[in-house]
Amino acid sequence: MKYFYIVTNRFKDPDGVNTRKIAHFLRSKGAECVCQIEQEQAFNKTGSYSDVRLVPDNTECVIVLGGDGTLIQASRELSEKDIPFIGVNIGTLGYLTDTDMSSFEETLESLLRDDYEIDRRMMLDGCIYRGEERIFSDMALSLIHISEPTRRTPISYAVFCLKKKKKQTSRMPSSNHMRKKKKNNNN
């Protein structure tokens, strides 16, 4: 793997210190790296961290710096690219992210050596209907949470799983998450 794109949560890396550290590491190993924070138009006031139009076509891996929320948002926004993601936790929780700033070099070395596995995760398409009218639609990674802050009783909902017709060529969008290959302890 040689071509990377870095998406950064600017609220967790406001000065870009961690982003530059990872970019420098990759470039020092001969990899090419584009950082979204270097593209000023990528950041907007809606809270979006990534813009699919700015991801170079030759990108082989998206590195997401932030927490699980940043990884989920980037997966949704960049899902049409069908590029593997790896999360670097600079947030608080990090159950979806694969590494953190103390161990990112080892993880990225594995990617550079093509020593990794890809976990495919299905993206969910959620829609809210009022009667027959669709009032909201969005894509999510892993789960969709439905709540109403002023309501004390559970919200009732229906889940429909629709199979695509065989003659359609499109597939269910997915997000690819990468991780280092596990060492074989039998050697």
Whether 55 has a pLDDT exceeding 80, the answer reads yes
State residue 136's pLDDT score. Answer: 85
Per-residue confidence (pLDDT) for residue 124, from 0 to 100? 75
Choice among 57, 68, 114, 119 that is catalytic: 68
Mean pLDDT within 24-39: 91
pTM: 0.72
**119 is known as an active-site residue:** no
Question: Does the structure show a pLDDT above 60 at 184?
Answer: no
pLDDT at 29: 96
Residues forming a β-bridge with 177: 85, 119
Q: How far apart are CA 131 and CA 58, in angstroms?
A: 44
What's the burial of 139, exposed, middle or buried (CB within 10 Å: 0-12/13-18/19+)?
middle
107-134, pLDDT tens digit by residue? 999 999 999 888 877 777 788 888 889 8
- In tens, the pLDDT along 65-84 reads 998 888 888 888 888 888 89
Q: Of the ranges 28-42, 106-120, 152-166, which one carries the lowest mean pLDDT score?
A: 152-166
